[in-house]
């Protein structure tokens, strides 16, 4: 029983971590190096993340600078950013690349908040799916004689408490991200 609850908690935690990663990649008008996480550069035949080829730093609130360790890769990084879906045109001065994040309009902020809410809802559904799977496994254990009726009820209660805890965490993370977007 404890093993099933531990597995359920680990799975729910992975869902929450994934949500946090998704939120970090959302462009909210402020320069954030995480927007480059999915941008890959063809470096000697291997798709390589930008942060492994260059120093990525935030120089101002809305400016991201990319300084490659190998100057010959500068054009390839620029092309990879242009091909990506981050929606920012890189400025190349021959030594570094600057990404200037434009301020967000009110309509765009509202769209982003809707996306944030949608991701939070999807994560809560995934957490509830973990709860359902766990309870099914516990019921199968009872059927096979591994659990008593009282143990099953206790385990179901603890699974529900775990689900409630992670649902509150998802709501909290979502509220923080929405606040960040609306206050910029």
Distance CA 157, CA 135 (A): 10
Indicate the pTM of the whole model: 0.72
Please say if the pLDDT value at position 23 is more than 70. yes
How confident is residue 159, by pLDDT bands cut at 50, 70 and 90? very high
Q: Provide the 8-state DSSP code for 75.
A: H
pLDDT digits (tens, 9 = 90+) for 35-78: 888 889 988 888 889 888 899 998 887 888 999 998 888 999 99
Please state the separation of Cα 40 from the chain's center in Å: 18
- Read off φ and ψ for residue 98, nearest 5 degrees: -110, 135
3-state secondary structure 17-31: HHHHHHHHCCCCCCC
Q: Which of 14-18, 99-103, 162-166 is predicted least confidently? A: 99-103
pLDDT of residue 29: 67
Cα–Cα distance, 54 to 49 (Å, whole number): 9
Share of the chain above pLDDT 90, in %: 40
Specify which residues 166 forms β-bridges with. none
Task: Give the pair of three-digit tokens for residue 170.
Answer: 């998802």
Is residue 163 within 8 Å of 155, Cβ to Cβ?
Answer: no
pLDDT band at 1 (very low <50, low <70, confident <90, very high): confident
Tell the residue number behind the tokens 């994934």, with chain if given.
Answer: 18
Least Cα distance to 86 among 47, 35, 52 occurs for 35
Burial 159-173 (b: 16+ CB within 10 A, else e): beebbeebbebbeeb
Predicted pLDDT of residue 27? 67
Enumerate domains of the chain plus CATH numbers.
2-25+105-183 (1.10.132.20), 33-100 (3.30.1360.40)
What band does 24 get if pLDDT is binned at 50, 70 and 90?
Answer: confident
Phi, psi dihedral angles at 9 (to 5 degrees): -65, -40
CA distances from 66 to 50, 70, 82, 87 (A): 8, 12, 14, 16
pLDDT at 120: 95
User: What pLDDT digit, counting tens, does each position of 108-133 carry?
Assistant: 888 889 999 999 999 999 999 999 99
């Amino acid at each position: 029983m404890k093993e099933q609850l531990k597995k359920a908690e680990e799975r729910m935690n992975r869902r929450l971590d994934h949500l946090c990663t998704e939120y970090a990649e959302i462009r909210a008008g402020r320069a954030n190096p995480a927007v480059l996480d999915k941008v890959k550069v063809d470096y000697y035949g291997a798709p390589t993340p930008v942060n492994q080829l260059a120093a990525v730093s935030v120089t101002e609130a809305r400016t991201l600078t990319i300084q490659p360790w190998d100057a010959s890769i500068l054009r390839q990084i620029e092309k990879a950013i242009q091909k990506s879906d981050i929606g920012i045109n890189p400025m190349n001065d021959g030594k570094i690349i600057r990404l200037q994040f434009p301020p967000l309009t009110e309509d765009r902020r509202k769209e982003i908040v809707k996306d944030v809410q949608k991701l939070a809802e999807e994560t809560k559904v995934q957490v509830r799916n973990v709860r359902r799977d766990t309870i099914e496994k516990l019921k199968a254990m009872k059927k096979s004689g591994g659990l008593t009726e009282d143990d099953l009820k206790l385990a179901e209660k603890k699974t529900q408490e775990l689900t409630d805890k992670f649902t509150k965490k998802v709501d909290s993370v979502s509220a923080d991200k929405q606040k960040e977007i609306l206050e910029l």
